[in-house]
Amino acid sequence: MTKEALLQKIQECRELNEKFEALYNVGLKPNTALVEWTDEVGKDLADDRIPEKIIDIIGHNLDGLNLHGLLAEHYDWNRPETVKRYENNRLKVILKCQNYYQTYKLYKSVGYVQRNTVIVGANGSGKTTLANKLKESLNMADGIVIPAQKLLVVPTFDNIPTYKAEKDPFVEYQKRILDDKRTFRAKDQNDFPYDMAMEYGSEYRKVLALLIAERNAKRNEFLDNKEDGTLYNKREIKTTIDTVIEIWNELIPHREMSVDTDCNLVIRYKSDGEVKQYEAYRMSDGERIILYLVGRIMQAPKNGLIIVDEPEVYLHRTVVDKLWNRLEKERDDCTFIYMTHDLQFATSRVGVKSWIRSYEYPATWDIRIIDENEIPEQLLMELLGSCKQILFCEGTSTTSLDKKIFDVLFPNYIIYPLESCKDVINYTKAYNALPNTNTKAFGLVDSDFRTPQEIEDLKANNIFTYHVAEIENVFLEENFIKAFKDYHHWGGDVDRIKAGIIDMLDKNREMQCANYISSRIDYFYRKNHVAKGNTKADVVKKVEEFNDYIKIDDWYDNRMRELELLIQRKNYAKVIAVYNNKGLHSVVEKEFGIRDYHNKALEYLKVAPEDVVNGLRCLFPEELR
């Protein structure tokens, strides 16, 4: 349907609706949904935003209102049953328009599904309800919905299905919404929802019966027409089920499926050099679901939408990508919409990625497209689906000490470790720059000889440093060491531990000062640049001026005086705040006669009293507590 034809259809429907509403004034509310829906469609058409596929769906939706038929009905206003019928018809039109308007906005929210689209949602975000809602707006020419709930019972046929007998039931089946959000009354022990089981249990039969019936019909027609005795080419009699079997055999190479002389599916395989076979109903869950999905998708309407709820269900990770890559290639005329909570599957697809920001029962979704971002796609989708605030920290993996400590100290945050402080800074900025997120991101990095100015610059972007030089120094906090010692009833003197760490700093002053200066210089070069010069002499002058800002002697002397003062005053709390040395735990281990202090301290932290935990939280910025 063209843009102009749709605009004309909209005008006709609005005029017909006005005539229909004017037939009899029974106090029903006017059909504002039709006006709002078609107004928005009209504006979007004027901006050339709506693709042909969605234009066709809208046209079919308008036809589905059946306003011509409702106007042609005979109404006898003196009969109450006529008035009631009219009221019901009017209400049905309003509800249809509300639904079509809602689904139109859903398509619009994901860019009008001009490309394959993944909609990511957590459990409980209404993905299945969304798939069913979209199906309400589709007729057979527009597309299909493949539900997540599947009762995959493979049939064996006693009689060869005929195409004519199987086509209509399959078409009707495609129209129905298989809703598993229902219940049944269990009065007795043997009560069972037979009708629901029939709906799902007959699904495989309808899919396979039509595939086999089409195969027989095409072969019979071919033989009837092949009267000259010439040899035939296999392509001349290739049918949909032949393609389905071909794809299945590609994906499961150690098995070979075929149709036997009774028109039933059989699988052959080799064992100990001998060819064996079994009937299709003995297939594994994975083998069944592959056959079902391929069979459904190969029978989808040309140029239609294929909406798949939980495309990864029952499938092994090694076959998921191969299956959907093959199906997308085989049905490149169609557009796929996937509803999933599997982030690995979502990132494997090429196309538009979106996420369900919120869902309100029964049928209100806020769906947002995930724009390209510095954060890797899979992690970004996971973050967007989080209900907690996000805390990025340094750490090479989910087993890093940083993450383990923060999991205990900040249980109201989702903790994500990243390989470097640069990643923490960049990811925090990138996430907080996203529009319409449900949560905020924070970053935590080591002090790492950072200057006060650098720390303030980071705070402006929700990135904070903690009040110890290294994350390991958290377990050197004086009250924590005392509580740890008392918990284990160990001997040893905490004051000797403090003195030992201060003594190590005294011996390492030169290295600490040199590292501090190196960090200051690195920070200066990262934050500043040489001003542009117009002559060689000008460039030389500006470089000299630039380097004049680096005061190695002054920085060294100031840092040395600061460390000497801390050592002289035995300011232990300040020492662990500035002393960068990951080996300080050895002092504790020597005093207590233990090994692996970090892991033992972490285990204690998990069971420590709240006052001990709060004592460690005080080493971190107030903004996170």
Number of C-alpha atoms within 13 angstroms, CB side, residue 253?
3
User: Rounded CA gap, 515 and 559, in Å?
Assistant: 10
User: Rounded CA gap, 343 and 136, in Å?
Assistant: 27
Q: Is 527 within a domain?
A: yes
20 and 94 in a single domain? The answer is yes
Among 418, 437, 465, the domain boundary falls at 465
What mean pLDDT, rounded, does the chain reach?
89
Q: Is 363 within a domain?
A: no
**In contact, 140 and 174? CB cutoff 8 Å:** yes
Task: Give the pLDDT of residue 232.
Answer: 63
Type of residue at 406: F
Q: Is 492 within a domain?
A: yes
Tell me how far CA of residue 377 lies from CA of 251, 344, 345, 354, 419, in angstroms.
27, 10, 11, 11, 17
Type of residue at 257: M
Tell me how far CA of residue 465 lies from CA of 82, 405, 442, in angstroms.
75, 15, 11
- 10 contacts: CB under 8 Å, gap ≥ 6: 38, 41, 42, 62
Task: Give the pLDDT of residue 72.
Answer: 92
- Quick one: angle between helices 203-225 and 163-175, nearest 10? 140
pLDDT confidence band for 375 (50 / 70 / 90): confident
CA-only gyration radius of the chain, Å = 35
Range in 222-236, 390-404, 444-458, 506-520 with the lowest mean pLDDT: 222-236
pLDDT (average), residues 311-339: 93
Task: Give the pLDDT of residue 426.
Answer: 93
Which domain covers residue 215, as residue numbers?
Answer: 146-177+196-348
Which helix (DSSP H) or strand (DSSP E) does residue 390 occupy? strand 389-394
User: Rounded CA gap, 337 and 433, in Å?
Assistant: 27
Among 89, 109, 129, the domain boundary falls at 109
Q: Residue 174 pLDDT more than 90?
A: no
More confident residue, 419 or 337: 337
Question: Which tokens belong to 174?
Answer: 């495609």
Residue 509 CA to chain centroid, in angstroms?
A: 50
**In contact, 389 and 413? CB cutoff 8 Å:** yes
DSSP secondary structure letter of residue 161? P
pLDDT in tens, 72-92: 998 888 899 999 999 999 999
Task: Give the pLDDT of residue 482.
Answer: 96
pLDDT in tens, 300-324: 999 999 999 999 988 888 899 999 9
Task: Give the pLDDT of residue 203.
Answer: 79
Q: Residue 389 pLDDT more than 80?
A: yes
Q: Is 45 within a domain?
A: yes
Number of C-alpha atoms within 13 angstroms, CB side, residue 251?
27
pLDDT confidence band for 362 (50 / 70 / 90): confident
206 and 257 in a single domain? The answer is yes
Q: Is 339 within a domain?
A: yes
Tell me how far CA of residue 49 lies from CA of 45, 113, 119, in angstroms.
6, 11, 21
- 566 contacts: CB under 8 Å, gap ≥ 6: 502, 505, 574, 575, 578
**Burial degree of 274 (CB within 10 A; 0-12, 13-18, 19+):** exposed
Tell me how far CA of residue 529 lies from CA of 168, 460, 523, 525, 553, in angstroms.
74, 21, 11, 7, 22
User: Rounded CA gap, 169 and 154, in Å?
Assistant: 17
Q: Residue 465 pLDDT more than 60?
A: yes
- 166 contacts: CB under 8 Å, gap ≥ 6: 206, 209, 210, 213
**Residue 404, φ and ψ in degrees, nearest 5:** -65, -40
Range in 137-146, 215-224, 243-252, 426-435 with the lowest mean pLDDT: 215-224
Q: Is 132 within a domain?
A: no
Question: Which tokens belong to 543?
Answer: 């470089």
Cβ atoms within 10 Å of 413's Cβ, excluding its own = 21
272 and 411 in a single domain? The answer is no
pLDDT confidence band for 107 (50 / 70 / 90): very high
User: Rounded CA gap, 265 and 204, in Å?
Assistant: 13
**In contact, 601 and 404? CB cutoff 8 Å:** no
Residues linked to residue 367 through DSSP beta bridges, in sequence order: 356
- 404 contacts: CB under 8 Å, gap ≥ 6: 602
- Position of tokens 């920070």? 523
100 and 168 in a single domain? The answer is no
**Residue 359, φ and ψ in degrees, nearest 5:** -140, 130
Could you give the number of structural domains in the chain? Answer: 4
**In contact, 131 and 339? CB cutoff 8 Å:** yes
Task: Give the pLDDT of residue 101.
Answer: 96
**Residue 496, φ and ψ in degrees, nearest 5:** -65, -35
**Residue 180, φ and ψ in degrees, nearest 5:** -95, 5
- Could you tell me whether strands 117-120 and 335-340 are parallel, antiparallel, or unpaired per DSSP bridges? parallel
More confident residue, 57 or 184: 57
213 and 319 in a single domain? The answer is yes
Task: Give the pLDDT of residue 159.
Answer: 79
529 and 424 in a single domain? The answer is no
End-to-end distance of the chain based on CA atoms, in angstroms?
Answer: 58
477 and 444 in a single domain? The answer is no
Task: Give the pLDDT of residue 310.
Answer: 93
295 and 224 in a single domain? The answer is yes
165 and 238 in a single domain? The answer is yes
pLDDT confidence band for 262 (50 / 70 / 90): confident
Identify which of 155, 150, 158 has the alpha carbon closest to the alpha carbon of residue 279. Answer: 155
64 and 101 in a single domain? The answer is yes
283 and 152 in a single domain? The answer is yes
User: Rounded CA gap, 482 and 502, in Å?
Assistant: 17
Residue 158's domain is classified under what CATH number? Answer: 3.40.50
pLDDT (average), residues 257-270: 90
Identify which of 524, 547, 127 has the alpha carbon closest to the alpha carbon of residue 356. Answer: 127
DSSP secondary structure letter of residue 493? -
459 and 495 in a single domain? The answer is no
Task: Give the pLDDT of residue 354.
Answer: 94
Among 444, 465, 486, the domain boundary falls at 465
Task: Give the pLDDT of residue 230.
Answer: 61
Q: Residue 199 pLDDT more than 90?
A: no
Question: Which tokens belong to 67?
Answer: 């306003």
Q: Is 368 within a domain?
A: no
Which helix (DSSP H) or strand (DSSP E) does residue 27 occupy? none
DSSP secondary structure letter of residue 301? P
**In contact, 451 and 442? CB cutoff 8 Å:** no
Identify which of 338, 466, 460 has the alpha carbon closest to the alpha carbon of residue 394. Answer: 466
Residues linked to residue 416 through DSSP beta bridges, in sequence order: 392
Q: Is 371 within a domain?
A: no
